[in-house]
């Protein structure tokens, strides 16, 4: 993989992160991060959908009539999402029940439409595919970080396994009920943005 392509893959992890820098896809980031497992599955689903819609749209980009391009993009994204939803229902039924409507709502996830418009419409298929994976991972990373904190402090477990020892509970420790609420996810995303911006000064707006 060339240096340029690698940069395209790794940029969205940090300086171009879709969630913390571009503030896209916040809605689902709040909704599916109570437990780690749905967050991971949601992250994977978004990676698959962004990567393949970018690929398909980029491949068709010269034959798409500009006047109906948004409709075409929506059709492609919706097709991908329905396929992902069907596969989840067939093979990871319990997770697909937890994700419920949010898989369907990937269709409206701004990250995907944003990447299609900004990147796939003007670039070759392979770089677009890489860009899609990069942005999908950038989204998934934030989901996983938020979900790890929320599950650990909200339920005392990770991926369903008990992490906080029983002795703590016997000594009077209690799970933080706030962590279960979507509000806390928003606060956590805020904290991540804060840390990121104080560490990478170039993200701060000019005074």
**Residues 110-149 as x/- pattern, contact with another protein by CB under 8 A:** ----------------------------------------
> Which residue stretch of 85-93, 104-112, 132-140, 151-159 sits at the interface with another protein (rule: CB under 8 A)?
85-93
Of the candidate residues 1, 70, 83, 118, the single one contacting another protein (CB under 8 A): 83
Nearer to another protein, 93 or 199 (CB): 93
DSSP string across the chain = --HHHHHHHHGGGTTT-TTTTS--SHHHHHHS-SSHHHHHHHHHHHHHHHHHHHHHHHHHTTTS-GGGHHHHHHHHHHHHHHHHHHHHHHH-HHHHHHHTHHHHGGGG-HHHHHHHHHTGGGS-HHHHHHHHHHHHHHHHHHHHHHHHHHHHHHHSEETTEE-S-HHHHHTT----GGGGSHHHHHHHHHHHHHHHHHH-GGGSPP-
Cβ 182 to another protein shortest distance, Å: 9
Of the candidate residues 2, 63, 202, 204, the single one contacting another protein (CB under 8 A): 63
Of the candidate residues 21, 72, 77, 137, the single one contacting another protein (CB under 8 A): 72
Nearer to another protein, 125 or 196 (CB): 125
> Which residue stretch of 86-94, 111-119, 121-129, 142-150 sits at the interface with another protein (rule: CB under 8 A)?
86-94
> Which residue stretch of 58-66, 140-148, 159-167, 199-207 sits at the interface with another protein (rule: CB under 8 A)?
58-66
Q: Of the candidates 115, 6, 103, which has an alpha carbon nearest to the alpha carbon of residue 55? A: 115
**206 sits near another protein (criterion: CB under 8 A):** no
Of the candidate residues 93, 171, 174, 201, the single one contacting another protein (CB under 8 A): 93
């Amino acid at each position: 993989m060339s240096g340029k392509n690698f940069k395209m893959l790794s940029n969205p992890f940090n300086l171009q992160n879709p969630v913390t820098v571009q503030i896209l896809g916040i809605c689902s980031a709040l909704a599916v991060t109570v437990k780690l497992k749905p967050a991971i599955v949601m992250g994977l689903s978004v990676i698959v959908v962004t990567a393949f819609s970018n690929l398909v749209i980029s491949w068709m980009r010269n034959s798409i009539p500009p006047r109906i391009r948004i409709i075409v993009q929506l059709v492609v994204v919706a097709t991908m999402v329905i396929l992902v939803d069907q596969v989840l229902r067939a093979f990871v039924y319990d997770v697909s029940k937890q994700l419920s409507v949010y898989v369907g709502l990937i269709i409206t996830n701004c990250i995907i439409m944003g990447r299609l418009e900004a990147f796939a419409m003007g670039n070759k298929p392979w770089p677009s595919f890489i860009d899609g994976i990069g942005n999908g991972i950038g989204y998934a990373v934030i989901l996983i970080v938020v979900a790890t904190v929320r599950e650990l402090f909200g339920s005392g477990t990770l991926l369903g396994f008990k992490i906080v020892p029983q002795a703590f509970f016997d000594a009077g420790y209690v799970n933080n009920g706030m962590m279960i609420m979507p509000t806390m996810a928003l606060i956590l995303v805020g904290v991540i943005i804060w840390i990121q911006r104080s560490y990478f000064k170039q993200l701060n707006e000019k005074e």
